[in-house]
Amino acid sequence: MKYEDKEEFNEENTFGIGIPNDAYALYFIGNSYLNPLNEIGESAVFVANVTFEPGCRNNWHIHKASSGGGQILLCTAGEGWYQEEGEDPVSLVPGTVITIQPNVKHWHGAKKDSWFAHIAVEVPGEDAEAEWLEKVEDEYYNSLE
């Protein structure tokens, strides 16, 4: 279900909007929010709720790792997009699970007319790091239906 109204969306955003994702704002178009669900370092796996305002998406990026690694997205509220390089975009709705293999170029975020939230699960790996790349251009993003 699409949510343009933030208050209505927040009623469905089970894990909460959190705080502005300022540390990664450089790699997003629009505003995103981060609500860590566990402490970094308390487990081998870091889990956070990431919320995107309508039109917000992250840049193309790669979760690099020499072994293991990658990311899992558990979509929980609103509607969004996920796309791997060379593939068609995938519509994201609550209940959608996306497994992102390591070393795969991709982007994800809200649809232009809906708030969106997903749980991001960082898969442990050796030499794991995110490589942030170019923006998802407005003309292309706005053409998605």
Q: Is the pLDDT of residue 40 over 90?
A: no
Kindly compute the dihedral angle of the four CA atoms of residues 28, 119, 68, 59, in this order, to the nearest 10 degrees.
Answer: -10
Q: Is the pLDDT of residue 41 over 90?
A: no
pLDDT of residue 25: 97
Global pTM reads 0.95
Q: Is the pLDDT of residue 13 over 90?
A: yes
pLDDT of residue 86: 98
Distances, alpha carbon 80 to alpha carbons 75, 117, 128, in Å: 9, 8, 26
Q: Is the pLDDT of residue 143 over 90?
A: yes
Tens of pLDDT along 92-136? Answer: 999 999 999 999 999 999 999 999 999 999 999 999 999 999 999
CATH number of 6-143: 2.60.120.10
59 torsion bin: left (phi>0), alpha (psi -120 to 50), beta (else): beta
